[in-house]
Structure 1
C-alpha cells in the first residue's frame, strides 16, 4: 500500500485517532516539561533584563570590573567573560526554546475549542489601537515601557556620573564644556550598544524565539523598526557630540582619521555611522514606499555597519551586542544554504485571469500552513531579487508539492509571465512540462507564516 493519501482517504484525523496518537500520560509529561522549560526561560530573561538595568549604575560598573578581574587568567579571558554575562543569557534562552519546541513535537491540524469564560492574555489584549505604533498589545506595551524606563534611567545615571567627574576636575568653562560633550557622547554610544543587543533578535525569520512565543515574522519586524530608530538616534548623537568637541578643540580632521591599534578606533566608527545613517534615511516611509529597491539594497550595508562597529569599539564592548548578532548570522547562513539549492518546477501555468501559477516539488516532511508564504528567486530573471508570495495550495492537498499564484504587477512578474507564455508552445498549452523545466531555474526560501491571521488573535 502506498504511503501517499488516496482520493478516498480522510485528510483529517477523527477524535479517536487523535486521542490514540497522543496518550494522556505522554501529553501530560510533555506539558510538564514544557512548563518547566518555560519557567526557566522566564527566569533567565528576568535575570538578563535586571542585569541590563544595573549596568548604568555604579554598582553595575563595579560588578563588571570585579567580574573581568576575576577572569583575567581564565581560558576565555576578559572578552569571553563579557560575552558570557551580556550575551550568554539570550543564548541560554534559545537553547531552552529549542528543547521546548522539540518536546512539543509535530503539530497536527486539529479543532481548537474555546473556553466558556473570557481569558485575558497579555500577548493578545490590545492597549493602544490608534497611534504611531499601530495596534499595541499589553505585552508589547510592557516591553515599550521597560525600554523607555531603561533609557531614562540610563540617561539619569550617566548624567550624574558625568557631573561627578566634572566636579572633581579643575578646568576652564570651555574645558568643562568640551569634556561634558565627550562624556555625553560616550554615554549615548553606550546606550546605543545596549539597544543594538536587541536589534537583530526580531528579524531572524526562522527564530525559535518567535516560534516559542507564536509571533509571526511579519509582526516582529516592527520591533526591529522601533529598535532601529532608537539605536540610530543614540548613535547619531554619539557621533555628533564628539564632532562638536573635536571641532572646538580644532582637531576634527585629525581625530576622525585616527585608527588606533588598541582601544577605540575613530575611523571605523565614522564608517559604521555613515552606513547606519544611509540605512536609516532609506527606512523613512517616503523613501521606502516609493523606492523599495533602494531601501532593500541599502539595508545590506548592515554588514558594513556591524563589522566596522566591532573595529571601532573592540571585542570587549562588542560582546554586549554579540549574542543577537550571532543568532542573526546563524539564521542568515541557514537561509543562504537553503536558497542555494534549486527546486524542481512541476508546472507553470498562465491562467485566463492573467496570473501565473507555479507548482514546486517539496520534501514530504516540509510543513506549511494555509497562510504561509515563500520567497522565490528565478535566476533567468534576476540573480539577486527574491520576492515573497503567499502559498495557494492547501497543506492537506498533497505531500510533495506546493504552489503559488503570482499576480502580474511590476517588471519582475511581467518578465515571468512573458517567459512562461513563451515556453508554453504554439498550441495554447500553458503547462510547463518536464522537458522544459530546465529553462526556469528557481530557488525557494521558506515557508514562513502564521497559522491564523495575527490580527484575529486580539481579544476585543
Structure 2
C-alpha cells in the first residue's frame, strides 16, 4: 500500500510540474501578442527572428510557426500528458491519493477557501448571462489586451504619417490614417480569431488543463465571435470609405458609367456601379493579399453572424445550425485573403478544432448498441446503451446523439445520467418530449408496431473539468422540468460512494419543479435499472418536488406505467467507447505530434524543391493563393492520416478485446412485466427497499412554486454547494441569491447545459 501511495504521489507531482511548464509556455506565447505592436519587437526582435528562421525550407512562414503555432500545440501535448497522469490515479472513494476529493474551493473540505470567492457570480443578469468574478477579471484582461494592441499599433503607425509623407502618396493625412486604422482593426480581429476555436473543441486537452469544459465555454466562443465580426466589419468599412474617398475607381468602368445617360437618371444605381468598379475591391493579387477573398469571407461571416443572436438561435435553431457551417467557407477565404504566413498566427486553434472535428466524424460513423428504452408517463424517454467496461467517465459528462430514424443530420447533446461505477456496462441518457426531434423520437418508440432495433451514433462522452460537487459538506440541487436529469449522475455517484463506505456523508437536497404530476415519474430514474441501489437508504437525500399546474395528486392510473422497450442489436453494433481507446489522451498527444511533424516535413520539402526555386523567398513571385491551398492540402492530409491511423488501430484493438466480445454477445432480456412508478404506487406496499427509501425522502407540493430565496437562506451548513439546472430565469435567480452576500456559506457552481 505504501508503494502505491508513493507512486500516486509521484504522478501527482509530475502532473503538477507538467502543468507549470504548460503555464510558462502559455505566458510566453501571450507575451508575444503583447509585444507584437511595439517598436522593440518590430525593429529589433522580428528582423532577428526572421533572419534566423527564414530558411529555404520554410521561408517567412517559419517565423510565425515558431512563435505562434508551435507553442500552443506543445501546450496541447503537455495537457494530454497531464490529463493522462491525473486519470491514472484511482478516483474511487476509500482509495489513497484521490485528487479530486479535496475541495476545489481552495482549502480543506468543510472550509470555503479563498478561491471560492472568485467563483461567485459577479453578474447574474444582462447580455453576458451569469459571469463569475474570475470570468469577469479575465474578460477585462482580454479587453485590456485588445485596447493595448490597438492603441500601440495606432501610436506607432501614426508617428510615421506626416503631411509630407501623405502628399508624396497623393493622399490626405486623414485618408492615410483611416487606412492604417482599418488595417489595425483587422489585426485585432486576428487576435480574437486566435482564441475563437479553443472553446468549441470538445475533446480539447487545453480546456481541462485550465479547469474548463467545452460545454461551459460556449459563452466565451459567443463573446469572441461577436467581437470578431464587429472588428472585421469595421475593418472592411474603413477600407471601403478609404477607396471611395481616394477615387480609386477603375477608369474604364467609370468612363462607361458616364457615357450611359440612363445611369444619370438613377443616381443610386450610378453610385453602386462606381463602388463595384473599385479596382481594389475587385482585385485578386497574385503575390499579395486578395481583396475579393476578404470580401467573400466577410459575406459568409455576416450570414453566419446574423443567425447567432438569441432570438434567431432559439426560435429557428436548425437555421442557426446549418448556417453556422459556413465557418468552413469563412476560414477558407480568410486564408486566401491574408495568406498562409499570416494565417499561422491563428492556426493552433483551428488545427486542434479540425483534429477534434475529424475524430468526431470517425466516431460517429459507427453504430453503437442501443439496449433498451424506458418510456415514462411524463413523455420522457431513457435510452440505455451498451458501454465498454473500460470506458471511464465522470458525473455530468455529455454525449451527442444521432438517430437516423428521427433525423439523419441532427445531433443533440445530453447529460449522461448513469454512473460508470454502478453500471460498468451501461450508459444512459434521458430525453424529455419538448422539441420536434424529441417528439418524433417518442412517437417512434411508442409505435404499437414491433420495433426490433434503432441505429444510433454517439460522440463522446466529454467529461467535466472537475467534480467540484465532491468538495462540499452539503449540496443543494435546484432544477426545473427536464433540468433534473443532470443531477441523476451526481446522486448515483453518492449512492456508489455510500456503498463503498466513503464519500457519501454529504447531505443532498434536491429541489425540483414540474408542470404536472406525470412528470414526477422522472424521479424514478434516480434509481439505476440494472444495479443494486440499496445504498440509497444510507444516503442523506431529501427531495422537495413542486407540481405547479395541479392542486392535488391525481388518482392512480393503471395505464401510467413505465414501459421498457428492448432492442435486438446487430453483431456489428459496438458498445460505447472512447474514439481513441482507454489511453485516449496519450493517443491524442501522439496524433498531434505526428501530424504536425509530418506537416513540417512535407512543407519543408514543398518549399525547398518546388516553391523556393521559383520565389527565392521574395514573396512577390509565387502565387499567395496557390501557396495557401497547397499548405491547406498538406495540413488536412497529415491530420486525416494520423487521426485515421490512430482511430483504426484502437478500433481493431477494441474489436478483439474480451470486454467488447462479452458486450456484443449479450442478449437483451425481455421482462414480462414493466416496472411500475413509485409515485403511482406510493399508496401500495413497495417491495423494493430503494423505492421505499425514495418515497420516504420525497415531499411533493402541489399548486405552488419553490420559494428559493427562503429555502436557500435557511440552510445552515458551513460549506454548501448550490447547483442549478433549469430555465435562464431560474439560474439567474439562484445566482443572485448566492451572490447577494446574505449567506456566506452558499457557493454557486456554474453549470452550462443550454445557451
Same fold (TM over 0.5): yes
For each residue in 1:391-430, what CA deviation from the matched residue of structure 2 results, as whole angstroms up to 9, or x when unmatched? 23232332222122211112222221222222654xxxxx
Is the 1:256–1:267 Cα contact (8 Å) retained in structure 2?
Answer: yes
* Map of 1:48 onto structure 2: 29
Q: Distance in 2 between matches of 1:65 and 1:277?
A: 37
| 2:383 pairs with 1:358 | yes
Q: What is the CA distance between 1:311 and its match in structure 2? A: 0.3
Q: Does the alignment pair 1:399 with 2:398? A: no
Of Structure 1 and Structure 2, the greater helix share is in 1
Match of 2:113 in 1: 119
Do the aligned residues in 2 keep the contact of 1:87 with 1:319 (CA within 8 Å)?
Answer: yes
Q: Which residue number corresponds to residue 456 of structure 2?
A: 442
Q: Which moved more, 1:403-412 or 1:390-399?
A: 390-399
Taking the aligned partners of 2:202 and 2:395, their CA distance within structure 1 comes to 18
**Structure 1 contact 202–210 (Cα < 8 Å) conserved:** yes
Give the drift of 1:138: 4.1
Normalising to structure 2: TM-score of the pair?
A: 0.54
Residues 122, 139 of structure 1: 8 Å contact kept: no
Mapped pair 1:67 → 2:49: yes
SS at match of 2:345: helix
- 1:64 to partner: Cα distance: 2.2
**Using the alignment, how far apart are the partners of 1:314 and 1:152 within structure 2?**
25
Confirm whether residue 94 of structure 1 aligns to residue 76 of structure 2: yes
**Counterpart among 149, 153, 156 of residue 158 in structure 1:** 153
- Unpaired runs of at least 5, structure 1: 1-19, 426-431
C-alpha distance 21-286 of structure 1, shift in aligned 2 (>3 A):
farther
What's the offset of the Cα at 1:119?
Answer: 1.9
Which moved further from structure 2: 256-265 or 174-183?
174-183
Provide the residue aligned with 1:7 in structure 2: none
The answer to whether 1:189 aligns with 2:186 is: yes
Match of 1:246 in 2: 243
Q: Report what 2:219 is aligned to.
A: 222
Q: Is the 8 A contact 2:53 2:59 kept in 1?
A: yes
Aligned position for 1:80: 62
Aligned to 1:279: 304
Contact 2:116 2:747 in 1 (8 A): no
Name the CA distance, whole Å, in 2 between partners of 1:124 and 1:447.
29
Aligned CA RMSD, in angstroms, stands at 2.4
Contact 1:259/1:267 (CA < 8 Å) preserved in 2?
yes
The question of 1:269 aligning with 2:251 is answered no
Q: Give the Å deviation of 1:459.
A: 4.5
- SS, match of residue 388 in structure 1: strand
Measured against aligned partners, the alpha-carbon deviations of 1:311-338 in whole angstroms (never above 9, x if no partner) come to 0000111111011110111111111111
Q: Which has the higher contact order (CA 8 A, sep 6+)?
A: 2
* Contact 2:166 2:176 survives alignment (8 Å): no
Question: 1:199-257 deviations in whole A, cap 9, x for unaligned?
Answer: 11111111111122332222111111111122112111111101111122242423222
d(CA) in 2 for partners of 1:77 and 1:204? 30
Cα–Cα, structure 1 residues 47 and 157, in superposed 2: closer, same or farther, change >3 Å?
Answer: same
CA pair 56-127 structure 1, distance change in 2 beyond 3 A? farther
- Residue equivalent to 1:175: 172
8 Å contact kept, 1:128–1:134: no
Shift of 1:195: 1.3
Are 1:109 and 2:134 matched, yes or no? no
Per the alignment, do residues 292 and 270 of structure 1 end up closer, same or farther by CA in structure 2, a change over 3 Å counting? same
Of 141, 145, 168, 2:136 maps to 141
Matched, 1:26 2:7: yes
Aligned-partner Cα distance in 1 for 2:406–2:119? 44
Pair 276,453 (structure 1): closer, same or farther in 2 beyond 3 Å: farther
Q: Does 1:305 align with 2:330?
A: yes
Shift of 1:349: 3.8
Q: Is the 8 A contact 1:125 1:138 kept in 2?
A: yes
The 1:113–1:186 alpha-carbon spacing in structure 2 relative to 1, beyond 3 Å, is closer
1:301 Cα shift? Answer: 0.8
Please give the per-residue CA displacement for 1:66-113, whole angstroms capped at 9, x wherever unaligned: 312322225332212211101221111111111111222345233735
Match of residue 535 from structure 2: none
Q: Distance in 2 between matches of 1:25 and 1:330?
A: 36
TM-score (norm 1): 0.87
Query: In structure 2, what is the Cα distance between the partners aligned to 1:225 and 1:274?
Result: 19
CA change 1:369–1:102 in 2 (3 A) is closer
TM-fit CA distance, 1:280: 1.6
2:435 and 2:14 mapped to 1: Cα distance? 50
Question: What is the distance in 2 between the residues matched to 1:127 and 1:54?
Answer: 33
Task: Supply the distance in 2 between the matched residues of 1:229 and 1:117 (Cα, whole angstroms).
Answer: 39
Q: Which ranges in structure 2 are unaligned for 5 or more consecutive residues? A: 95-100, 250-274, 470-720, 724-745, 749-755
Give the Cα separation in 1 of the matches to 2:320 and 2:25: 36
Query: Judging changes above 3 Å, is the alpha-carbon distance between structure 1 residues 195 and 257 closer, same or farther for their aligned structure 2 residues?
Result: same
Describe the SS at the equivalent of 2:447: helix
- How far did 1:141 drift? 3.0
Q: Aligned with 1:109: secondary structure?
A: coil
Corresponding residue for residue 443 of structure 2: 418
1:267 is displaced (CA, Å) by: 0.7
Contact 1:123 1:139 survives alignment (8 Å)? no
Q: Distance in 1 between matches of 2:407 and 2:462?
A: 22
Match of 2:281 among 256, 267, 277: 256
Based on CA coordinates, which of the two structures has the bigger radius of gyration? Answer: 2
1:210 aligns with 2:207: yes
The CA deviation string for residues 293-324 of structure 1, in whole angstroms up to 9 with x for no partner, is 11111111110111110000001111110111
Q: Give the secondary-structure state (helix, strand or coil) at the position aligned to 2:161.
A: helix
**1:138/1:353 CA distance change after superposition, 3 Å:** closer
